[in-house]
Amino acid sequence: MPQLRQDPVTDNWVIIATERSKRPHDFPVYRENRRGPENCPFCSGKEECTPPELWAYREAGSQPDQPGWWVRVVPNKFPALKIEGSSERQREGIYQTMDGVGAHEVIIETPEHEADFSRLGLEQVKEIIRIWRDRYQDLRRDHRLKYIQIFKNFGSVAGASLEHPHSQLIATPMVPPGFWEELRGIQRHASDTGRCIVCDLVEHETQKEERVFVRSDRFIALCPYASRFPFETWILPREHRHDFGSISEPEIEDLAGVMRASLHKLGTALQSPPYNLVLHTAPVNVDGVEQYHWRIEVIPRLTIVAGFEWGTGYYINPTTPEIAAESMREALMQ
Amino acid sequence: MPQLRQDPVTDNWVIIATERSKRPHDFPVYRENRRGPENCPFCSGKEECTPPELWAYREAGSQPDQPGWWVRVVPNKFPALKIEGSSERQREGIYQTMDGVGAHEVIIETPEHEADFSRLGLEQVKEIIRIWRDRYQDLRRDHRLKYIQIFKNFGSVAGASLEHPHSQLIATPMVPPGFWEELRGIQRHASDTGRCIVCDLVEHETQKEERVFVRSDRFIALCPYASRFPFETWILPREHRHDFGSISEPEIEDLAGVMRASLHKLGTALQSPPYNLVLHTAPVNVDGVEQYHWRIEVIPRLTIVAGFEWGTGYYINPTTPEIAAESMREALMQ
């Protein structure tokens, strides 16, 4: 019998499709046609191919837009949003419009083209998280910006147009409606019980263990109860934290280990599937959002989102999170 | 400068990405590897390969599950939801679950494997809409069901696992949250102005014409102002109608012409792109939903939904709806 499961934060339902049940080896293995480092604008030595760098961690004495960096941030060459312009709304007949004000940056995660993000050294992953935090803290000082979205598309099926390891940041002048939907769910639970539903979820999952597959003192990685996608993964701070931008140094060190192990295990269990990694955190320059509890979502692209999902917002997941988490626990770090 | 446009129903924003502007010929042409009719369970003569038929339009004297039909409805062999079970909710620790109660049916749109849906005869398209309506009216009599989603996935990139022309119907025991979001927007506008925002939109677009590309007495096809996707298309009744299930015979005849012309033009403008076609209508067995205004959405799969869209719910559209509609107007019926 198919099962419907409800997300405890948003109250949305997910269909766990037992009639179409899929285990890890049932998914097709996706093989990327790699183009190699030739003409790659993100490689060390090709700094002139990107817009001037915004920020980098680089060797003492090395110059901006020259080699010597190990993590480097540049503006996106084809930005979805731009920093110039006005966030004033204009009417166009019955419609409303505004300038596409915001920021769109690329975080080049390593100078090495062929590096695999999930197998980078632990120190390098810490540096990537630190530079995410730095850009986050810098951009939030622009009071026109209301939300900072950090994400990573891995593999062309997941939307990556360049194969050199990189993540992206887009800052928008408005708060995504999905954030308010989650916050409403959290506030509903808090006014009923006085507690944060996400803290409750972390505690419940930590005790049960069936959906958890990596943990440290400060973070936990699990496949959520109402997973919309096979092997959907959430990485959560175990203590209540609403704002990614104020992550502490010990938290960065813990998160690096949990994130690296999670992606490494995913790559082993499913043979390097394409995926999207997405930060969900509180908006910036907006009051009253401290009840939110931030997380990172990793969504492997194993199924196709089609007409039913577009029409209803309900997802059909052929793999239970319990089976997915079991595979992830068994996947060894190689 | 990129532009932000607001959807007048949901108030969501869309990014019109002028820096990445794409005209129709900039999109890659998707070539399907066709498998042909061999082993196709939907072809005439293969009726024993599907579960027993639920409904069909067939020649007088022909028998169920035998040839002689021109449109045929069968249960999905791997249903996402099933008609048996209870819609009672059960607790599982901090979570809620229920049986996957509902219906999942396949509408086989023609006995001919190689037929192209967008080039079927007008009479055949009317028959498809009539059988959608018949199934809709039959299923709504089951009071456990709250929403009936009719959709069509065309092309494997858009989620079709079989190439024989078909659409699907999934009925769910709960109302999708996106419906309530739209209804709230409609009610907000109605309490401000006393009018239906979708009726206003139809009137506004009919007068301006820049985003409209097909119209009849009763229906209109257009690329919406805040299109999330290149060539996104909405087909709307021009008069206020909340319920697809009560579509009249003259409306079916008009809709068939507008839907057929729209898909035919899309196929010409973009060389048969993969797409999802999705009905958005009021829920069934639920009161107070008469303010809704139903529509059909057609979403060509030309761009990849990636981390930013998953994280924020905002879409980056590289083609303005004005350019898309112009191409659609110019695309001839061949």
Task: Locate the domains of chain B by residue range.
Answer: 3-28+43-79+96-330
Helix extents (H) in B240-285? 249-270
How does pLDDT run across A53-109, given as a tens digit for each residue?
999 999 999 999 999 999 999 999 999 999 888 878 999 888 999 999 999 999 999
Which chain A residue's Cα is nearest to B224? A95
- Name chain B contacts of A173, Cβ cutoff 8 Å: 4
* Mean pLDDT of the A125-148 span: 97
CATH architecture of the domain B3-28+43-79+96-330 equals 2-Layer Sandwich (3.30)
How does pLDDT run across B87-96, given as a tens digit for each residue?
789 998 889 9
- What is d(CA B197, CA B242) in angstroms, rounded to the nearest whole number? 13
Q: CB distance A306–B159 less than 8 Å?
A: yes
- What is d(CA A272, CA A116) in angstroms, rounded to the nearest whole number? 10
- Residue whose pair of structure tokens reads 């390593």 in the numeric block: A110
Which chain A residue's Cα is nearest to B93? A204
| DSSP bridge partners of A276 | A153, A299
- Other C-beta atoms closer than 10 Å to the C-beta of A155 total 18
Query: With pLDDT > 90 as the criterion, what percentage of chain B qualifies?
Result: 87
Q: CB distance B204–A93 less than 8 Å?
A: yes
User: Six-digit token pair at B248?
Assistant: 């009249």
Does A250 have pLDDT greater than 80? yes
Q: B46: helix, coil or strand?
A: coil
Judge contact between A320 and A20, C-beta under 8 A: no
Q: CB distance A5–B306 less than 8 Å?
A: no
- Name chain B contacts of A80, Cβ cutoff 8 Å: 2, 15, 17, 19-20, 308, 316
Which chain A residue's Cα is nearest to B305? A159
Q: CB distance B95–A310 less than 8 Å?
A: no
Q: Is the pTM higher than 0.90?
A: yes
Q: A235: helix, coil or strand?
A: strand
B288 class by beta-carbon count within 10 Å (0-12 exposed, 13-18 middle, 19+ buried): exposed
Q: What is the pLDDT of residue B29?
A: 82
Q: CB distance A173–B85 less than 8 Å?
A: no
Judge contact between B199 and B293, C-beta under 8 A: yes
In Å, what is the CA distance from A316 to each residue of A5, A15, A268, A289? Answer: 11, 5, 24, 31
ipTM: 0.94
Task: Using alpha carbons, select from B199, B197, B143, B139 the residue that is nearest to residue B168.
Answer: B139
Q: Which parts of chain B have pLDDT scores under 70?
A: 333-334
> According to CATH, what is the number of the domain A3-30+40-83+92-330?
3.30.428.10
Our answer to whether residue A280 is catalytic in this structure is no
- The residue from A166, A189, A242, A280 that is catalytic is A166
> CB contacts < 8 Å between A and B, how many?
221
Judge contact between B169 and B103, C-beta under 8 A: yes
- What is d(CA B331, CA A153) in angstroms, rounded to the nearest whole number? 35
- Name chain A contacts of B81, Cβ cutoff 8 Å: 2, 15
